[in-house]
Structure 1
Amino acid sequence: MKLKKKSNFFALTLVLTLLVMLTACGKNSATAKNTRTVVDMTRTKVKIPKQVKRVADLWHANNQIVLLLGGQQKLVTTTPMIQKQGWFRKVDPQIAKVKAPFVGQDLQIEEILKTKPDVAIAANPGQVKQLRQAKIPTVNAMFTDFPGLKKSVNLTAKILGKKYQTVAKRYNQELAHNLSYVQKRVANQKRVRVLHITDATNLKQVDGQETIINEWIKFAGGKNAIKARGNMVQVNPEEIVKQNPQVIIIGQTTTANARRLVKHDPLLQKTTAAEEGKVYGNPQGTFPWDRYSTEEALQVLWAAKLLHPAQFTQLDMVEKTRDFYQKYYHYRLTKQQAKQILAGYVPKK
């Protein structure tokens, strides 16, 4: 009798164990069917839903990549900086209604969770860690060079879905063409020393080596006057004068304002760039051209013509800009608007 009870107990245990295993297998199978894996820019494998409908984009520059790919309707969060970009608002007025869950530079995780994102995109390692700790599938999309830009565009397209990969391929082909075009024409030209100041608020903050800024300077036939590595580097003004840049470019401002600032700076006004009037504001479109966005495809053309005008007499940057906006944003710029972008002007509304 006892033996029979023991046998029944073991049989029941075996059945229950099998049921648990089958249930687990079923769940794993269902999860596998509903998810896919992408490899981000840090080579981290990230599981994301098969169908991504809601994107928390917490890196300013990547919002512009999403816009170019045509996926902006999937954005459930953005950044305050993007909402302040006048040309971005012109092209996509709906961006003003998207949540921007930041206090200063700090993420508001609870507010992000309320938007129920399928995936988050970021570039700051600390933010990536925060988001992953909150159980949000998070992809790091950061890049520092043109191969990285192409890869980041492909990664973003892969996250958004198959149809966006067609646009990514077309864009990457255009970027490759533009890079090849300028390289061939500046190959035998003497390199021009270029100082790139991050923005007009601090003339001692510059962009150095191992940045996308350094990349387009090199491709355009220039040489970065700054030897230090990294973005937004604080430098001694005397060091700038010592390097004596032949061209000064200031980000996120107009050419008129850039020239006014340099004219009134006691040290910068001593440089060859200032003496020869070669001081410029960098073009600003849906994102500043000089920084980490797809409008780098236009930046490298603009910079090459700026540094070596004789090599690019047939290059019409107004028409290039208009064509780019029509092709990717389906937005028809007037000639005047294109000129404003090239001069670094940003509309207030």
Structure 2
Amino acid sequence: MLLLLLGMPFASDASAATPENRASGAGTRIVVDQVGNEVELPAEVNRVVIASAWPLASVFCLFEGNVDKLVGLDPAIISAAENSLLVKVAPKIVHVPSGFSKNGVLNVEELLKLKPDVVLYASAVPGDYEACKRAGIPAVGFRLDVKGFNAVETINSWMELLGRVMNTAIEAEDFVAYGRDMQHKVAERLKDVPQSGRPRCMFIHGYEASAVRVPGASSWADYWIGASGGVNVASEAGKGTKSVNMEQIYAWNPEKIFITNFLPLLPDDLYGNRITGHDWTPVEAVKRAAVRKLPLGMYRWYVTCSDSALMLLWMAKENHPELFADIDMNRTVKDFYRKFYGLALSDGEVASIFEAKREAAAGI
């Protein structure tokens, strides 16, 4: 398993430093989460529910080596796991109860039946915290923007907090070093690329009846595009994910489009112009057949996850294939999974990471 294979203690940088666990009442301790809340937890945590902090499930399973302490998972986590390689590490994950959450809303009565010691949630979903607070359930928040949406550094900070929640030291220095080395490698190759040589990119994160949901500034997409040598055309729309019409997309005219794996849309849907009310034929990325569905390995690569270093390299190769022509992504993935997950992937399993899957979308 990832965190059991690494041989040296985890060391976060100073900007990620957080207060250590400290004793509270008899048999309890205080953990300060990434929202700044002081959360009282039992000395030993044995029953964990992961709500809106979806990517944490893959890290948790790799950390624990099994799902024995997971008593509840949001349905979106299950749908990702069923279509990912996480089931090779933790086959029982697909049987963890998920009925406590529907369309991202917690059912407190169902949640209480699970008798959790703690609920792990994303800070962007404060409703999870409020529901748990009313029910008297400890809830620990993980921030998506804790590192300015730098996914590689974010996963390091999440692992550190998860270790404190579970009251166990995480050994991950090699993993941290790999991610930072990858950031340096990519940045070094892109340092001389002028602004005019950076492709205009856009992510699609959702659809509405008459609009497309696109991530602008201060988003995972903005980090991935910028770090991989592109320009996020949607950044001018403001921070976060925005709804825009096709006229705006025509004006931006992105040269490359990336579809997140949280919705069932596939590149062929754009190429075949199959979306009612949306004509994609004039868009440059469609003309160039430069629409890509994001990969899914241990988890959906759009957000921070244990595969984030691979996502950065994949994005850089997509945006600047000539600068990364020597990189064999299949070999890189195989080496990464063997080193950190102890998995020897077949060619077919590697291919499955990069194959578009409708079924892996959240909520399907």
Q: How far apart are 1:122 and its partner, in Å?
A: 0.5
Is 1:63 the counterpart of 2:57? The answer is: yes
Q: How does 1:228-243 map to 2 (within 5 A)?
A: 228-243=237-252
Counterpart of 1:204 (choices 209, 212, 216) is 212
Is 1:97 the counterpart of 2:95? The answer is: yes
| Larger RCO, structures 1/2 (Cα 8 Å, 6+ apart) | 2
- DSSP 3-state at the match of 1:176: helix
- DSSP 3-state at the match of 1:238: helix
Residue number in structure 1 paired with 2:71: 76
Q: Distance in 2 between matches of 1:256 and 1:49?
A: 43
Contact 2:216 2:238 in 1 (8 A): yes
Is 1:128 the counterpart of 2:129? The answer is: yes
Counterpart of 2:31 (choices 32, 35, 38) is 38
Task: Quickly say closer, same or farther: Cα 1:106–1:310, change in 2 above 3 A.
Answer: same
Contact 1:220 1:307 in 2 (8 A): yes
Aligned residues with identical type, % of pairs: 27
Q: How far apart are 1:104 and its partner, in Å?
A: 2.8
Task: Quickly say closer, same or farther: Cα 1:199–1:285, change in 2 above 3 A.
Answer: farther
Name which of structure 1's ranges 191-200 and 279-288 shifts more when overlaid on structure 2. Answer: 191-200
TM-score, scaled relative to structure 1? 0.82
Q: Distance in 1 between matches of 2:358 and 2:265?
A: 13
Q: Distance in 1 between matches of 2:177 and 2:206?
A: 30
Task: Quickly say closer, same or farther: Cα 1:306–1:69, change in 2 above 3 A.
Answer: same
Contact 2:200 2:232 in 1 (8 A): yes
Is 1:142 the counterpart of 2:147? The answer is: no
* Residue type at the aligned position of 2:46: K
Counterpart of 1:303 (choices 284, 292, 315) is 315
- DSSP 3-state at the match of 2:202: strand
The runs of 5 or more residues in structure 2 that have no matched partner are 1-21
Q: How far apart are 1:185 and its partner, in Å?
A: 0.8
Q: How far apart are 1:347 and its partner, in Å?
A: 7.8
* Residue type at the aligned position of 1:62: L
Residue number in structure 2 paired with 1:10: none
Counterpart of 2:160 (choices 154, 160, 180) is 154
Q: Distance in 1 between matches of 2:263 and 2:77?
A: 19
Residue number in structure 2 paired with 1:16: none
The runs of 5 or more residues in structure 1 that have no matched partner are 1-28
Q: Distance in 2 between matches of 1:279 and 1:183?
A: 23
Question: Could you report, residue by residue, the CA deviation over 1:224-259 in whole angstroms, capped at 9, with x for unpaired residues?
Answer: 110224554211111111111111111229999404
Task: Quickly say closer, same or farther: Cα 1:346–1:156, change in 2 above 3 A.
Answer: farther
- DSSP 3-state at the match of 1:73: coil
- DSSP 3-state at the match of 2:94: helix
**Which has the greater radius of gyration?**
1
Contact 2:24 2:40 in 1 (8 A): no
Q: How far apart are 1:31 and its partner, in Å?
A: 4.9
Contact 2:206 2:212 in 1 (8 A): no
Contact 1:200 1:252 in 2 (8 A): no
Q: Distance in 1 between matches of 2:23 and 2:176?
A: 35
Counterpart of 1:280 (choices 273, 278, 292) is 292
Task: Quickly say closer, same or farther: Cα 1:104–1:255, change in 2 above 3 A.
Answer: closer
Q: Distance in 2 between matches of 1:57 and 1:103?
A: 13
Q: How does 1:198-347 map to 2 (within 5 A)?
A: 198=205, 204-226=212-234, 227-252=236-261, 257-264=266-273, 267-345=279-357
Contact 2:259 2:265 in 1 (8 A): no
Q: How far apart are 1:331 and its partner, in Å?
A: 3.1
Q: How far apart are 1:321 and its partner, in Å?
A: 2.0
Contact 1:254 1:282 in 2 (8 A): no
Greater percentage in helix: 1
Contact 1:143 1:149 in 2 (8 A): no
Residue number in structure 2 paired with 1:13: none
Q: Distance in 1 between matches of 2:258 and 2:228?
A: 13
* Residue type at the aligned position of 2:221: I
Is 1:193 the counterpart of 2:186? The answer is: no
Residue number in structure 1 paired with 2:186: 182
Q: Distance in 1 between matches of 2:23 and 2:175?
A: 35
Q: How far apart are 1:340 and its partner, in Å?
A: 2.1
Q: Distance in 1 between matches of 2:348 and 2:70?
A: 30
Q: Distance in 1 between matches of 2:103 and 2:286?
A: 35
